[in-house]
Structure 1
Amino acid sequence: MDDGGMGSLLFDPDCPEERRLGEQISEGVFFDIDGVEVSVALNVDNLGALYELDVWKVTFEKTIQLPDDIREFKVTGPVR
């Protein structure tokens, strides 16, 4: 996705036009190697299918490195 290099992913971008953002099903955070917090949200579309993985570095800068170890990622919101 065109997100300034933060790392967001759009699932199945060639889907029908009526597909749109539905709701967030989970969220979490990790810290980039420069120590800046990065927020991550998993969203589904209006039909309930995976829509996007929204990655947002709180300084709006490019994400330098995603975590190598899942233990570096902390779930902060509900998991549906």
Structure 2
Amino acid sequence: MSHVAHELHEEFPEKAEAIHALKASNAHFARIAEEYHTLNRAIHRMETNVEPVDDATLEDLKKKRLALKDEIAGFLTEVNA
């Protein structure tokens, strides 16, 4: 189990400027980036037992985080296309 937070700037280090620009110019991207951040921090607290949770719930939240990350990656791919 990883105890490292998966922040967007760490997941997409070469896309930091694009992430910032999209947050400022695209309301949907800004919303999903914020949702990713909020969910990511909650998962990190759960993984480090600050907020204990059952394994099934944690796995469901990780799947949601992955789906958001995939959507964010899609936006970042479109920016470079």
If the length of structure 1 is used for normalisation, what is the TM-score? 0.25
If the length of structure 2 is used for normalisation, what is the TM-score? 0.25
